[in-house]
Amino acid sequence: MVVVVSNFGKKLAATGLVLGLFSAGLAWYIGGYLMVTPDSVASAATSAPATSELTLQTVAGLGDAYSQPTWVAYLVKDAHGVWRQSTNFTVPANSTVRVTVLQYDGASGLRNPFLARPEGVVGNTIEVDGKAVQAIDPALASHTFAIPGMHLVVPLEGVADDAPDQCEAAPCGLEKAHRTITFSFHTGSRGRFRWQCFVPCAAGFIHGFGGPMQTIGYMDGFLDVV
Amino acid sequence: MSSSPPRHGRRIALYTIIASLITTPLAALVLGPHLPPGHGSREAAAQVTDNTVLTVVMTPIACLVLVYFAYAAIVFRQRGTEIEEGATTRGHAGIQTAWIVSTTAIVLFLAGYGTWALLQTGSGSGQGPVPMASADGAVLPVQVIGQQWEFTYRYPTYGGLETSTLVLPAHTQVEFHVTSLDAIHSFWAYDLGVKADANPGADNVAIVRTGDARSFDVRCAEVCGLWHGYMADTGQVVDSASFATWVAGQRKAFAPIAGSMPPYRPTYQPDPQRRAG
Amino acid sequence: MTIAAMPRRTSPLLRRLVGFNLITAVVLGAIGYYLGWWLGHQVSVAATDHYADTNQNDVALFLAYGLAVVGFLTGLGFLNYPVSRMLGRPASVAAKDEADGWKRYVSLCTDHKVVGLQYLIGIGFFLLVGGVNAMLIRVELLRPTPNIWPAGQYLTLVGLHGSMMMGMMTSGILGPFANYVVPLMIGARRMAFPRIEALTFWLLMAAGVILTSAVFYGGFPTGWTGYEPLADQANMGMDSYIVFFALVGLSMTLLGFNMLATVFSMRAPGMGWGRLPIFVWSVVATSALNVLAAPVLVTTLTMVALDRTLQTTFFLSSSGGSPFLYENLFWVFGHPEVYILAIPGFGIVLELLPVFARKPLWGYRLAVSGMVGVALLSFFVWQHHLFMSGLNANLRPFYMLSTELISLPTGFTFLCAMGTVWRGRIRYDVPMLFCLGWVFNFFIGGLSGVFLSDVPSDTTTHGSFFTMAHFHYTIMGGLIFTFFAAIYYWLPKMAGVQLNQRLGKVHFWLMFVSFNSTFAPLFVIGALGQPRRVVSYPKDLQFLNQWVSVSAFVLGISMVVFLANFVWSLVFARIPADPNPWHSSSLEWQVPTPVPVHNFDRIPVITAELYPYGAETTAPAAEPLTVGS
C-alpha cells in the first residue's frame, strides 16, 4: 500500500506544530497547578548530639509578602532566620527534634477534645510559655501540630481573645501577643510522614475543615525523615 | 467424519467439563485458602468461605463461556478470503429456556447463600444503628470515631477511655460503633474483615469475633479529603492479660484529659464551624 | 437570510470572522464569564458574607460559568431561531445547508451526520484529556509515598479523570454513533429535533472545558461521586465539578428525549418494533435511562450548589440535613448511569457480530428483552453502593437479590452473542476483534461484579481497588472497546475513508493485552487491601502497582497508535472507503458515501427480516433500495 502524499513535509510540520502546542499546553497545565508545592525547610542542627531545632509560627492570616489566599497558616524559620510560608520540613532520622511554635492565633476549639492531650512527645508533656503542661482546655485550642503516623499530637493553645496587640497578618514579631509552645520528639527510621492541624480553624468553611485545612502550605504538610 | 452440528455441541460440552473438572477443584482447594481477607477473625474466615463458594460457582460458568468462545473463534472462522455465509439459525426456544432457568437458579442460590451468610453476624459489615444480625453472646463495645484524618477509639466499658491506637483482646466478640465528626469515612480493619462507613451523626454497628493475637491493618475506605490516602494505622489483637495492662496504661495517660471529655454517646454532633478563629 | 446569501468567499477576512460562529461564541463566552464574576462580587447578603473569610466567592463562579455558557451558546447562534420565530419569521430547517465545507464542523449545524462527527472529535479530545489524567495518576502510584503530585493535587487528578470519563463518556456511543447512524438505520432524513441535537453537543463541549478549569480554582477532593459534606468543604474547583455534571445531565436528558422521539416517530414504513436493528434498541433503552436518571443528577447538584452558596443545609447532619440523602440521590442517578455506559456496548456487539460471523442475530427478542430488562432493573439496585454505609442495612438482602438479578438480562446478551457466532463464518476484521475483546472484558467485569453484589464478600472489596478494577473492566473494557469497534466499523461511512487495518490490529492487540495487564492485577491489589483514591499505599504493594503503572503506560501508547492511524488515514492517506466494506445488510450501508445531506431521496420501505445473512439468502433487508441520486 504505497500512497503518494503531496506536500507531505508541510503537513507533517503542521501536525508537529499542533502536537507541540498541545504538549506545551499540557506542560503549562501540569507545571502551573499540579507541581506547586512549597520547598522543604530543614531543621537546624544544634550543639547537642543528634538534636535539631525547628521554629514555627502560626498566624491567623498571611500578609502581602506571601502567596494568596491569605488563609490561616503555619510559617517556618529557615536557615537565614527568615519566616517562610512552607509546611514541608526535613528532619534527620533517629534523632531528637526540638520544636518551638510561636502561636499568634486565637482559639477555635477542638472538635474531638481527646486531641487536647499531648501524645508522642518526649516526657508526654509540652511547655506552654515555659510551663510544663499535660493537657490543655480543648475549647482553648487554636491549632494542633500532629503527625498521626507517629502518633504525635501537640495541641497549641490560642491567644486570649482580649489580649492586647494581636497580630493580624504574618510575619508576626515577638512584640505581638503570642504563646510559645516547645516540645521534643524522636524521629524513627526514614520515611515521609504527613502532619496536620486537627482544630477546625478554617474560618467560613463547613466544619472549619476546608481551604487551609486541606491545602499543603497552610495547615498541612509533609515531614521528611531522612 | 464430517463436522455435523451436534458434534460441535458435544465437543464444547466435553471441553467445558474437562476444564471445569480441572479448574474447579483448583479454585476450591488451591486458590480458596488464599482468598481475602484471611483468617484474622471469625467474620474474616466466614468471608473467605463465602468468596470460595462464589469462586467455585463461577469457575464452571467461566469455563463454559471461555471454552465456547475460544472454540467458536477457532472452528467457526472463515477459512479463505472470500466472504462465506454462516448458518441461518435465529434462535432456539429450548436453549433459551434452559439458559434462563439455569442462570435464574444460580442467581437465586447466590442471593440466598449471601443472605444466609450475612444473617450470621453481619459478616463484619456496617449494619446501621440496629443490627439485623445481632451479636452471639457477650460483646466488648468499641467506638470508632472518624475525623479528618484519623480514627480514634473509645472504650465505654473502661470509663469512656479514648485512645489513638486500636487494641483488642483475643477471642473476644467486639461490637464496633462507627461514627464520624465531619465528613464520611469508612473504617476498614482489613485482616478482621470489618468495613463500616463512619457517617456524621450516625451510629454504624459492625460485629467481629477476634481470633489469636496478631496485628491488623486499619484504613479509611471512603475518600474524605486531603489526607485520605494517609488515614491508615496498625491495630493489635493481644491476649487478655496484655490487654488489661494496656488499658491500665492508657487510662493513666488519659487521666489529664478525662475531665474535658464529653460523656460517651453513640453519635456526636459537633457544631458546624462556619466561623472559626 | 441576507447573511446567508452574502458571497462569503470574496469578503475580507475580518468580515468573515464576524457572525455567529465559534470565534464569536468564545468571545461572548468570555464576556459572559467576566460579567458573571463581576455580578457575583456585587451580591452581598447575610448568607454569603463568609466569603471574606474563605477567600472564595462561589456565587461569583456559578454566575460566571452560567453566563459564560449562555454567551457561548448565543455566539454559536442558538438563539437566532427562537428569536426569529418570535419576530414572526417563518419556520425553517435550512440551517444545515447554509454553511459549506469544513465550516459546518466548527459551527452550529443541525445535520445529524455533522453532529455525529463533531461528537466523535469533541468527545475523543476529552477522552484523551481524561486518559492523560489517568497516566498522571499512575505516575504518582509508581511509589508508595507522594513523590510528584502533592496529596491534594493527586485527589484532583483522580476526580478529573473519573468525572471526565463518567460524565463525558455517557454520550460516548450515543453522541457520535447513534446521532449519525440511527436516522440512517431507521430510514429517516434527520433527527426529530435537530437543533436540540446540536445543543446537546455544544453543552457537552462547554462542560468539558469547565471541568478542566477546576485546576485553576484549587481542584476538588471528592472523586467523581462528589460525596457530601466533603463537597461542601471543598475549594471552588467543586463548583466546576457541579456545573460540569449539571450540563452533562442536561445534555443527556435532551439527547435521550431526542433519540426516543426520533425512533418512536420517524421509522420508515415497514420498520416495526420487531424489525428495529438491535443497536437502535440499545439506544432506546439507554435513552430511557438518560431521560429518567439524569434529571435526578441535575436536581441533586442544584441542592449541592445551594448548600455551597446560599448556606442551605440539605446534606449537613449537624443542621437537620443528611449526607445519606446525597448518597441516595447520587446513586439513584449513578447506578442507571453505569448502564447508560454499558447498554450501547451491548447494542454494538450484537449489531456487529452478525455482520462478521455472517449469521442472523441469534435470539433477537431475547436480546431486546435483555436490554430493556437491564434498563428497568437498573433503577432497583442503587443501594448496593451503600452496603457498608449503615443506611437501610436491613434492606441489603433485597438489594443483593436485585443486583444479582441484573445478571440475568445481562446474560441474555452473552447468550445471544454465543448463539450468533455458532456455526458462523467469523472474519477477524478490526471491529470484530474489538467486539470479541468486549466479550472477554465484560465477562470478567460481570464475574467480578458478583463479589461486589454479595454483602459478605463486599465487606472486603467495597471501596477498594477491586471495585475500581471491576468497573474499569465493564466501562473501559465494555464501553471503550465497543467505542473503538464502532469507530473502525462506521468511520468508513462517516468520514468516507478507510482506516488502516494493519495499524488497527496493532492497536487492538496492544490495547487488549495492556488493558488486561493493567486491570487484572488491580483485582489483586484491591483484595490485598488498597483502598481507592489513595496517594500512599503499603510498601509491599509497590511491585504490583509498578506493574500496573507500566502496563497503563503501554495502554496509553496503544491510544497513540490509534491516533496515529486516525490522523494518517484521515489527513494524509485518505483512501476512499468502499460504500459497504463489511458487506452489511443494514440500511446505513446502502446509502452512498458520502451520505447525501438528506440521506434518502426516497424513504425506503422495509419488507424483509433483519440480518438476512446466512447460507440460504443474501437478500438485503430493505426494498426498494433505490437510494442516493
Residues B106 and B182 in one domain: no
Cα-Cα end-to-end distance for chain C: 28
Edge to edge, the sheet with strand B150-155 lists B161-163, B150-155, B140-147, B173-180, B204-209
pTM: 0.93
At residue A17, the pLDDT reads: 81
CA distance A22 to A33: 17
> CB-CB: which of B77, B182, B188 is closest to C531?
B188
Going by C-alpha positions, the residue among A97, A55, A99 that lies closest to residue A76 is: A55
Chain B residues within 8 A of A72 when measuring between CB atoms: 277
At residue C49, the pLDDT reads: 65
CA distance B244 to B260: 24
Q: Print the domain residue range for A162.
A: 41-225
Cα-Cα end-to-end distance for chain B: 89
CA-to-CA dists, residue C503 to B217, B228, C195, C430, C562, angstroms: 47, 42, 37, 9, 7
Interface probe for B, chosen from A112, A121, A199, A224 (most Cβ of B below 10 Å), is: A112
Is B123's Cβ below 8 Å from some Cβ in C? yes
At residue B231, the pLDDT reads: 95
Element (H, E) at C374: helix C364-377
Residues A109 and A4 in one domain: no
> CB-CB: which of C153, C232, C316 is closest to A34?
C153
> What pLDDT digit, counting tens, does each position of B152-187 carry?
999 999 999 999 999 999 999 999 999 999 999 999
Instruction: Measure in Å the smallest separation between the Cα of C416 and chain A Cα atoms.
Output: 38
Q: Determine the Cα angle at C293 with ends C292 and C299, to 5°.
A: 105
Report the residue of chain A nearest C233, measured CA to CA.
A210
Residues 6+ apart with CB under 8 A from A203: A72, B275, B276, B277, C50, C53, C54
Report the residue of chain B nearest A106, measured CA to CA.
B277
Beta bridge partners of B205: B177
pLDDT tops 70 at residue B255: yes
3-state secondary structure of A157: strand
Residues B180 and B115 in one domain: no
Chain B residues within 8 A of C614 when measuring between CB atoms: 85-89
CA distance C381 to C401: 9
Kindly determine whether residue A113 and residue B227, on different chains, have CB atoms separated by under 8 Å. no
Residues 6+ apart with CB under 8 A from A165: A175, A176, A177
Strands annotated E in C211-369 = none
Could you report the predicted ipTM of this complex, rounded to two decimals?
Answer: 0.94
Residues B60 and B144 in one domain: no
Residues A27 and A10 in one domain: yes
Grade residue B86 by pLDDT with cuts at 50, 70 and 90.
confident
Chain B residues within 8 A of A137 when measuring between CB atoms: 260
Residues B116 and B219 in one domain: no
At residue A122, the pLDDT reads: 93
Residues A164 and A122 in one domain: yes
CA-to-CA dists, residue A199 to A107, A118, A215, B277, angstroms: 9, 14, 14, 10
Q: Is residue B81 part of a domain?
A: no
Kindly determine whether residue A116 and residue B260, on different chains, have CB atoms separated by under 8 Å. yes
Residues B164 and B106 in one domain: no
Kindly determine whether residue B183 and residue A151, on different chains, have CB atoms separated by under 8 Å. no
Residues A121 and A201 in one domain: yes
Q: Print the domain residue range for B23.
A: 5-75+101-121
Report the residue of chain B nearest C536, measured CA to CA.
B229
Buried b (16+ CB within 10 A) or exposed e, B133-165: bebeeebbbbbbbbbbbbbbbbbbebebbbbbb
At residue C93, the pLDDT reads: 58
pLDDT tops 70 at residue B267: yes
CA distance C492 to C501: 12
Q: Which of residues 58-117 of B touch C (CB under 8 A)?
A: 58, 61-62, 65-66, 68-69, 72-73, 76-78, 83-92, 95-96, 99-100, 103-104, 107, 110-111, 114-115, 117
Burial of A2 (0-12, 13-18, 19+ CB in 10 A): exposed
Q: Is residue B215 part of a domain?
A: yes
> CB-CB: which of C54, C229, C575 is closest to A204?
C54
Asked if B189 and B217 touch (Cβ cutoff 8 Å), the reply is yes
Kindly determine whether residue C572 and residue A3, on different chains, have CB atoms separated by under 8 Å. yes
Q: Please tell me which residue, A181 or C615, carries the higher pLDDT value.
A: A181
> CB-CB: which of B43, B91, B196 is closest to C390?
B196
Cα torsion C332, C335, C340, C343: sign: negative
Going by C-alpha positions, the residue among C469, C452, C459 that lies closest to residue C545 is: C469
Residues B117 and B164 in one domain: no
Q: Is residue B49 part of a domain?
A: yes
Going by C-alpha positions, the residue among A106, A109, A160, A179 that lies closest to residue A137 is: A109
Is CATH 3.30.70.270 correct for C109-589? no
Asked if C516 and C473 touch (Cβ cutoff 8 Å), the reply is no
Domain count across chain A: 2
Residues A24 and A90 in one domain: no
Q: Is residue B45 part of a domain?
A: yes
CA distance C116 to C599: 14
Residues 6+ apart with CB under 8 A from A41: A76, A78, A79, A84, A86, A88, A89, A90
Residue with cell 475525623: B147
Asked if C455 and B123 touch (Cβ cutoff 8 Å), the reply is yes
Single-letter amino acid, residue B197: D
Instruction: Measure in Å the smallest separation between the Cα of A139 and chain B Cα atoms.
Output: 9
Instruction: Measure in Å the smallest separation between the Cα of B164 and chain A Cα atoms.
Output: 7
Q: Is residue B184 part of a domain?
A: yes
Q: Write down which residue in B121, B153, B185 finishes a domain.
A: B121
- The distance between the two most distant Cα atoms of chain B, rounded to a whole number of Å, is 90
How long, in residues, is chain A? 226
Kindly determine whether residue C55 and residue A30, on different chains, have CB atoms separated by under 8 Å. no
pLDDT tops 80 at residue B2: no
Going by C-alpha positions, the residue among C257, C107, C282 that lies closest to residue C192 is: C257
Kindly determine whether residue A37 and residue C150, on different chains, have CB atoms separated by under 8 Å. yes
pLDDT tops 90 at residue A167: no
Q: Cell for C621?
A: 433487508
Asked if B128 and B198 touch (Cβ cutoff 8 Å), the reply is no
3-state secondary structure of B175: strand
Q: Determine the Cα angle at C587 with ends C583 and C592, to 5°.
A: 75
Domain count across chain B: 2
Q: Is residue B274 part of a domain?
A: no
Mean pLDDT by 10 residues, chain C (629 residues): 46 70 92 94 68 83 96 93 88 58 83 94 92 92 88 93 94 95 94 94 96 91 93 93 97 97 95 94 97 96 92 87 94 94 96 94 95 95 94 92 95 96 93 96 95 94 95 95 97 92 96 97 95 93 96 95 91 88 91 89 86 65 43
Chain B residues within 8 A of A106 when measuring between CB atoms: 277
3-state secondary structure of A139: helix
Kindly determine whether residue A34 and residue C152, on different chains, have CB atoms separated by under 8 Å. no
Residues A48 and A109 in one domain: yes
Residues A23 and A130 in one domain: no
Q: Cell for C401?
A: 437479590
Chain A residues within 8 A of B274 when measuring between CB atoms: 204-206, 208
CA distance A22 to A25: 5
Q: How do beta strands A96-103 and A51-59 pair?
A: parallel
Chain B residues within 8 A of A125 when measuring between CB atoms: none
Kindly determine whether residue B114 and residue C223, on different chains, have CB atoms separated by under 8 Å. no
Residues A5 and A112 in one domain: no
Interface probe for B, chosen from A110, A111, A121 (most Cβ of B below 10 Å), is: A111
> CB-CB: which of A26, A206, A214 is closest to C229?
A206
Domain ranges for chain C, please list them: 18-43+56-90, 109-589
Which CATH number goes with the domain that contains A198?
Answer: 2.60.40
Single-letter amino acid, residue B260: S
Q: How do beta strands A179-186 and A96-103 pair?
A: antiparallel
Residues A68 and A88 in one domain: yes
> What pLDDT digit, counting tens, does each position of C399-422 carry?
999 999 999 999 999 999 999 999
CA distance C357 to B96: 20
User: Lowest-confidence range among A34-48, B39-53, C63-77, C475-489?
Assistant: A34-48
Tell me the average pLDDT across B30-51: 94
Residues A166 and A63 in one domain: yes
CA distance B232 to A48: 34
CA distance C495 to C595: 10
Which CATH number goes with the domain that contains B206?
Answer: 2.60.40.420
CA distance A86 to A75: 6
Instruction: Measure in Å the smallest separation between the Cα of B223 and chain C Cα atoms.
Output: 6
